[in-house]
A and B are shown apart, each in its own frame.
Chain A
Amino acid sequence: MNTTLTVFLKEVKENLRDRRTIMSALILGPLLGPMIFIMIMNVVLTRELNKADQPIKVPVIGAQYAPNLVNALKQQGLVPQPAMADPEAAVHNRDADVVLRIPKGFGDSWRKGETSQVELIYDSSQSDTGSSVGRVKGMLESYSRRQGAMRLVARGLSPAMMAPVAVDERDQSTPQSRAGLMFGMLPYFFVLTVFMGGMYLAIDLTAGERERQSLEPLFANPVPRWKILLGKLAATCAFSLVSLLICVVAFGFCGKLIPIERLGMRMDLGVSFAAQVVLMMLPLVMLLACLQTLVSAFAKSYREAQTYQSVLMMVPIFPSILLSVTPMKIADWMYYVPLLGQQVGIMRLLRGEPVTATQIASCVVTGLAVAMVAMVATAWAYRSERLAISA
C-alpha cells in the first residue's frame, strides 16, 4: 500500500479514538460559532423587535403640569409611569431607560408663547437604552413641530416658513447589506473552525509523536520523510475540512432559526453560499495545516507546541480587525491576499452581492500557491536531524 495513504489512514484511525480531538475538532470548534451567533442574534433581534412594536414605559415627573403633552405622548404609544424621587439614580441603576421631567413653569411659558422646557434623563453609555431614548425624543419633537405649526397658522403664517430645507432620506442599503454589517464577524468563525479542526492533529502528529518518542522508530522505516509528512498533512486537512463542513451546515440551519426577516432584512446561508465558502476556504485548510505542522515541528513538547499554536491563532484575526477598524473600499487586489481574500469574499456573499468567478479563482489560486510554499517549508523542517530525536 502507498506510504502516504498508510500514514493517513493510521492517523485518522488513531485520532478518531481520541475523545479530546473529537470534542475540539468535530463538536466544539464547528458548533461554537453558530451557537454564539444564534444567541447574540436572538437577544439583539428580540430586543429590537420588542422595543419597536410595544408601548414604551417611561416614568414622567410633573405630568400634572402638562396634561396635553402627556396625552399626545400617550397617543404615540408612551405609557407614563409614576414619578420617582431620584430619577438620576434610577437611570444610573438601570431601573429606567429614560425619565421625562416636566418643570413646574411649563404651563406658564406655554401660555406666554415662549419655549417650554422638558428634561430627558438617560445614560448614553448604556447602549441598549439608545432606541428608547430615540423613540421618546422623536415623540417630543413631532409634538413640538405640530404645536409650532399650529401657532404659525393661528398668526396667519405658513408652516413652511419654519422649514426652509426639508431632508428626505433615501437609504441605499439593501436588506442584505444591512445584515452583512451585523455579520462581519462571520468569516472569522469559519477561519477559526478550520484552525481548531486541525490544531490538535497538527500538534499530536509532530510534537506529540516526538514527545512520546515514536518519531525515531517511525523514521527508521524505509520511506522518505516527505511521504510520511504528506500523510500527516492529509489527515490534518481532513479533520479541519470536516470541521468546516459541519460549521457551514450548522450556519445554514442558523439562518432558518433567526427571525431576521422581521427586521426587513434577508440573509441567504443556503447551499450556494455554503459551496462558495467551502471553495474559498479550501486553500486556507491546507495553508493552516502546513503552518500548524511547521510550528509544531519546532516545538520540543506538546505543551510548547500548544503555546506556538495560540500565537499562530492571532494571525487570522488581523484581516478581520483591519476591515472593521479602517473602512476600506473592497478592491480586487484583496482577493489575492490569503485570509483577507476569504474575509472579503465571504462578507460580500453575506451582503447578497455576487463574487465573480475570477475573484474566487484568484482567491483559491494564490491561496494554494502560498499553501504550497508553506508545505515545502514544512517538508524542509521535517528533514532536520534533530526533529526525530526526542531527548
Chain B
Amino acid sequence: MIEVKDLHKHFGAVKAVDGVSFVARDGEITGLLGPNGAGKTTTLRMLYTLMQPDRGQVLIDGIDVAKDALAVRRQLGVLPDARGLYKRLTARENIDYFARLQGLDEALVRTRREQLIKALDMADIADRRTEGFSQGQRVKTAIARALVHDPRNVILDEPTNGLDVMATRSMRQFMRQLKQEGRCVLFSSHIMQEVAALCDRIVVIAHGRVVADETPDALRAQTGEANLEDAFVKIIGSEEGLAA
C-alpha cells in the first residue's frame, strides 16, 4: 500500500507538486491522471526516493520514505519515465544485473528471470543484445528488470507511452494480472481511456494539486457528465494537455 500525505516539491520558483495526498491500495489499480506538466512524474519520483520532498510524507507498506529509503525501494518495483537499457547487454543480462542489485541469490535470479520472460512473452528476444530493440521490446525488458524481486507495490510512469495497439493491449493485460496477484499498482497516464478502462481509482492531478480522487463511476456522477472525457475536462478546467 502506498500512502501519500501533503507532498510538496519546488524547482526554483516553480511549484511542481503543491500538496498532493492520496492512497493506493493493495489489489487495486490506481491511476494518476493529469495533463503534461501537472506534476505526475515528480510525484512518482518522490515515491521511489529519487527525489526528496520539501514537505509531506510518503509511506510504502507503512515504511516512511524519509526514514528508510533502502527498505522502501525493496518494496517497490519501478518503471520510471527514463527506461534506458544497457544496449551492449542482452535482455537476460539486463534483468540479471538488477536482480543481483536487489540482492537475490543466483538460484532465485534464474527462476524469477525465467518466470518474467514467460509472463511477458519475450523468450524470442531474451538472448539478443538490447541495441536495436523496438519500443515494445524495450518496455518489456524494463518491466521485467523492475519486477524481478517480486515487489508488493508497482509504480509505472506512463507505461504505454510509445507502444502500438497490440503492445498496449498486452501491457494492460499484464497490469490486470499484477492486480489479480494482490499487488498495489500505481501508474500515471495522460490518456483518459486507458485510465478509465483499467483503474479502480482515479487520482486527477492538475497544477501540482489533486483535483479529484474517486472511482470512475463516482467521477461521472460527481460531474454530472456521462462521458468520462467531458468529466475530466470539467474537473481540470481546461482541455490543455489531455489526449483522448
- Known contacts A214-B85, A215-B82; decide if A220 and B48 are in contact (CB<8 Å): yes
Q: Once the chains are docked, how many angstroms separate the CA of A250 from the CA of B235?
A: 72
Interface locus among B17-25, B94-102, B116-124, B218-226:
B94-102
> Would A391 and B82 count as touching, CB distance under 8 A?
yes
Question: Which of B40-70 touch A at CB < 8 Å?
Answer: 45, 48-52, 70
Q: Once the chains are docked, how many angstroms separate the CA of A185 from the CA of B97?
A: 43
Chain B positions within 8 Å of A385 at CB level:
50-52
What sequence of 0s and 1s flags, for each residue 284-301 of chain A, a beta carbon within 8 Å of any chain B beta carbon? 000000000000000000
Give the distance to chain A from B73, nearest Cβ to Cβ, in Å. Answer: 4
| B234 contacts partner chain A, Cβ-Cβ < 8 Å | no
In addition to A220-B76, A220-B146, 17 A-B residue pairs with Cβ atoms within 8 Å of each other are A10-B86, A10-B89, A10-B93, A10-B97, A15-B88, A18-B88, A214-B84, A217-B79, A217-B80, A217-B82, A217-B84, A217-B98, A218-B101, A219-B50, A221-B101, A389-B82, A391-B82
| B241 contacts partner chain A, Cβ-Cβ < 8 Å | no
Using a CB–CB cutoff of 8 Å, the interface residues on chain A facing chain B are: 1, 3, 6-7, 10, 13-15, 17-18, 209, 212-224, 385, 388-391
10 A-B pairs with least C-beta separation: A214-B84, A213-B84, A213-B82, A222-B73, A216-B82, A212-B84, A221-B101, A220-B78, A222-B74, A6-B100
| B142 contacts partner chain A, Cβ-Cβ < 8 Å | yes
| B5 contacts partner chain A, Cβ-Cβ < 8 Å | no
- Known contacts A6-B97, A222-B70, A224-B70; decide if A217 and B78 are in contact (CB<8 Å): yes
Chain B positions within 8 Å of A220 at CB level:
48-50, 73, 76, 78, 80, 146
> Would B84 and A1 count as touching, CB distance under 8 A?
no
Give the distance to chain B from A224, nearest Cβ to Cβ, in Å. Answer: 7
> Would A13 and B50 count as touching, CB distance under 8 A?
no
Chain B positions within 8 Å of A6 at CB level:
97, 100-101
Give the distance to chain B from A389, nearest Cβ to Cβ, in Å. Answer: 8
User: What would 14 A/B residue contacts be, using CB atoms closer than 8 Å?
Assistant: A1-B100, A6-B100, A212-B84, A214-B85, A216-B81, A219-B50, A220-B49, A220-B76, A221-B98, A221-B102, A222-B73, A224-B70, A385-B50, A388-B50
| B145 contacts partner chain A, Cβ-Cβ < 8 Å | yes
Chain A positions within 8 Å of B162 at CB level:
none
Chain A positions within 8 Å of B97 at CB level:
6, 10
Give the distance to chain A from B17, nearest Cβ to Cβ, in Å. Answer: 14
Chain B positions within 8 Å of A390 at CB level:
82, 84
